[in-house]
A and B are shown apart, each in its own frame.
Chain A
Amino acid sequence: MVLDRPPEPSAADPRPGWKDRLFNRRSYAWSKRFLDPLFLGAIAVLIAVPVYASGNPWGSFALESAFASIFIMLALAWDFSSGMTGYLNFGLPFFFGVGAFVAGYMSWQDEVTRYVPFLLAGAFAAGLACGVLFAIPTLRLRGPYFTLLSFLLPLLALDFVQAFWWELNMPSLGYWAIPFLGSTPEAELILLSVANGVFLAALCFLRSSHFGLVLRGIRDDEDALLSQGISTFPYKVVAFTISSGVMAFAGASYAMVNSFGGVDTFGFFFILFPVLIAILGGTGELYGAVFAGYFVYLLYANLFPTFAELTLILFVSLAILLVLFLPHGLVQPIRRFIKFMRTEQPS
């Protein structure tokens, strides 16, 4: 049998542009993207938690869930770039802190820039800008070199603020009196849940496009991609820039929920929790962050009154155990279970 060679692309049949690759119409039907039971489950959780909190079962649930939502947002952003590509970015608190400081700075300038949407948009834009400035030089490095550089970022930022806060006309080691995100914790939770829903849908859309395939390919074998014609660098830069924007958005939200954005946002806490959530959810899975985020943060919030500072030690231990015994998180076993239930069993 002799197979005909497919025709070469002609002027009438041009090579695909970025839109074709991004929207990837041939590969995935919309139903396949968004009717995934785990995606629908994650959206259901994002709706259910604010609805439950509105009933106000106990005093602090809405506020704790709002903080959990911020960690979910951070975990989503980290998972989209680091979880999918395998480039471990421990500079997450830097972008988170940039968002908090930009929101603080803008709220101290004048009345116009104090509007919440402006603060969020400004932080998001600053995150994108910092992300691209960080990504272009560092993503030419691989493995531990990239990770080491990313790890230094929040430390540098912390030292910088501590050394120059007076020269920068900051009121202290941070900004206070930042406008609240919402009038009540319940309103803040609703806003954050909507933002998480939008980010989750957008990132899942990108994940299932050709762009997402390349990111997952980078994690598996970047050299093989390069040898077969895919220049991975621009894909990595775009992924890390997007995730930096989301991290900064989360930082601004945190500053507005607290009404204070200070140097604590550059802290270790804001790398430990998102990474723990991403691992428990399943790295590169995105949906898992929603389930794991509420679980981890609400567990922490409820253990803290009993164990105080020991709680963090408990969580670091949990992280070690997770990496050892459940490196692929909870989502993959759930996915296998769903597949098993859908498969027709022999009678």
Chain B
Amino acid sequence: MSLLEVSGVTHSFGGNRALDAVSFKMSVDALAIVGPNGAGKTTLLNVIAGSVHPDRGLIQFQGRDVTRLPPWRIARLGMVKTYQVVRPFRSLTVEENLRLFAELRGKADVDQILQETGLTEWRDYPSGVLPFGLLKRLELAKGLATRPELLLLDEPISGLSRAEAQGLIATLATLKASGTRMVLVEHRLSEILPLVDRVVALDRGRLVFDGTRPDFFRDPAVRSAYLGSDDASG
């Protein structure tokens, strides 16, 4: 049984088809969803997390149909999404941001999560005063707070400097090694791909690649999506 299975998911915004019969299965520890701007990556992540319900198709998590469930039910089942644009609870401290979710789970291992994400020394600060790099870490920490079975990360390193991004990727690698499974949507391929075991590529709402990392750069459909087709390039 796959951890996550997406079957024929289609979704339109008005007349614009954002996802067109997208299907894939996830059985690995880390999967990347990539594609050029407007490919439908974030929409797909929102559909999986329940923030947007698809027009057609099926989403199964650990064999259970979660297609029409509200986002909070999906999160309770163990699939939690973090946001590309950070959304901290600004009137709460860093520690309170984590307690909010950690205590749903019973074992409030907030100290360990703070340590894993490098936020221990910031625990008593109001999250509203943190710089952007730390807010990105806090977004990840909030996602980890319920110890989900699957973490959906929407562009976790976007907007970060190269050094900050490397630090966050090292944290993600540590989490992966300790058993946290994740789906990453990201633009910065060269930095994120070493972390993942499998890649799914979208282009204008359609799935154009589903395979391993080495095959990704050799695939003509991927080259076409990123560089344009031979016809178009003249």
Contacts and interface: CB of A to CB of B under 8 A. Distances in A.
Nearest to A216: B91
Interface stretch (B26-34, B55-63, B98-106, B187-195): B98-106
B79 to A, nearest CB: 10
Contact of B100 (A5, A13, A210, A227): A210
Contacts of A284: 91
A264 interface: no
Contact of B76 (A24, A27, A229): A229
Given A1-B174, A2-B177, A3-B112, A229 B106 contact: no
B209 to A, nearest CB: 28
Contact of A9 (B92, B100, B103, B107): B107
B178 A227 contact: no
A20 B49 CA distance: 28
Contacts of B105: 9, 15
A33 interface: no
Contacts of B179: 5
A223 B80 CA distance: 13
A300 B90 CA distance: 35
B91 A228 contact: no
A214 B106 CA distance: 16
A219 interface: yes
Contact of A16 (B100, B106, B142, B180): B106
A19 interface: no
A220 interface: yes
Contacts of A26: 103, 108
A213 B96 contact: yes
Interface in A211-264: 213-214, 216-217, 219-221, 223-231
Given A2-B178, A13-B107, A24-B103, A229 B75 contact: yes
A294 to B, nearest CB: 26
Given A2-B174, A220-B91, A226 B100 contact: no
Interface residues of A, number: 35
B49 A227 contact: yes
Nearest to B86: A224
B112 A228 contact: no
A21 interface: yes
A243 to B, nearest CB: 19
Nearest to A219: B91
Nearest to A16: B106
A226 B83 CA distance: 13
Nearest to B139: A224
A225 B100 contact: yes
B84 to A, nearest CB: 12
A14 B145 CA distance: 17
Contact of B87 (A9, A14, A24, A221): A221
B129 to A, nearest CB: 12
B226 interface: no
A111 interface: no
A6 interface: yes
B146 A228 contact: yes
A309 interface: no
B116 interface: yes
Nearest to A230: B72
A219 B96 CA distance: 14
B109 interface: yes
B89 A224 contact: yes
B51 interface: yes
A4 interface: yes
A227 B90 contact: no
Interface string A26-43: 110000000000000000
A231 B50 CA distance: 13
B108 to A, nearest CB: 5
Nearest to B75: A229
B52 to A, nearest CB: 11
A228 B140 CA distance: 12
A224 B101 contact: no
A284 B92 CA distance: 12
Nearest to A220: B89
B75 A217 contact: no
Contacts of B174: 1-3
The 5 residue pairs across chains A and B that have the minimum distance between CB atoms: A229-B75, A220-B89, A224-B87, A5-B179, A15-B106
Interface of B: 49-51, 70-73, 75-76, 80-81, 83, 87-92, 96, 99-101, 103-109, 112, 116, 142-143, 145-147, 174-175, 177-180
17 contacts: A15-B106, A21-B103, A210-B103, A213-B99, A216-B91, A216-B92, A217-B100, A226-B70, A226-B71, A227-B50, A227-B75, A227-B80, A227-B81, A228-B142, A230-B104, A231-B72, A284-B91
Given A26-B103, A227-B80, A228-B101, 16 more contacts: A3-B175, A4-B178, A5-B179, A5-B180, A6-B112, A15-B105, A16-B104, A27-B103, A216-B91, A220-B90, A221-B89, A224-B83, A225-B100, A226-B75, A229-B76, A230-B104
